[in-house]
Amino acid sequence: MAGTPGPDAEARVRASFEKQGLMALIGARLVEVERGRVRIDLPRRPEVSQQHGYVHAGATSAIADSAGGYAGLTMMPEGAEVLTVEYKLNLMAPAAGDLEAEGTVLRSGRTLTVCELAVFAVVGEQRTQVAAGMQTLICLPGN
């Protein structure tokens, strides 16, 4: 689906994010929306932890997937919808701290978009990358 993103790409992303029950359930927040880049934060809480007290890989991957998906949506034409086709996330360190997930578009095509995913744990002034990945998205016509 070719076209230029409309001027309301940020509004579309924010409206879509508000509809995501999982993001609300885990307490994720949409923090930054730019053309081709989105950041989602997840405060560390017992409800998103695993047995050792770190943020669970499921929560880590969920915010990474959404950050990339919404980064892709900012590059898609007005009325388009986005779905993840595939993603891979390498967990590089325990997610100890509040998390920041960044999705960055590497290539936005007519049908498929490829994004880079990065998740960082933040404790005080220290920011450590805990996950890295790649994602492929598909652009679907809107309803």
**The residue to which tokens 């409206």 are assigned:** 15
Indicate the fold that domain 9-140 takes in CATH: Thiol Ester Dehydrase; Chain A (3.10.129)
- pLDDT computed for residue 61 by the predictor: 98
Backbone angles phi, psi at 132, to 5 degrees: -140, 145
Sequence-distant (6+) residues with CB within 8 A of 22 are: 62
**Burial, 28: exposed, middle or buried (Cβ in 10 Å; 0-12, 13-18, 19+)?**
buried
Per-residue pLDDT of the chain (143 residues; tens, 9 = 90+): 334 555 689 999 999 999 999 999 999 999 999 999 999 999 999 999 999 999 999 999 999 999 999 999 999 998 999 999 999 999 999 999 999 999 999 999 999 999 999 999 999 999 999 999 999 999 998 76
Where are the domains positioned within the chain?
A: 9-140
Half-sphere exposure of 123 (CA within 13 A, CB side): 10
Residues in the chain: 143
- pLDDT computed for residue 1 by the predictor: 37
Q: How far is Cα 83 from Cα 49, in angstroms, rounded to an integer? A: 27
Report pTM.
0.93
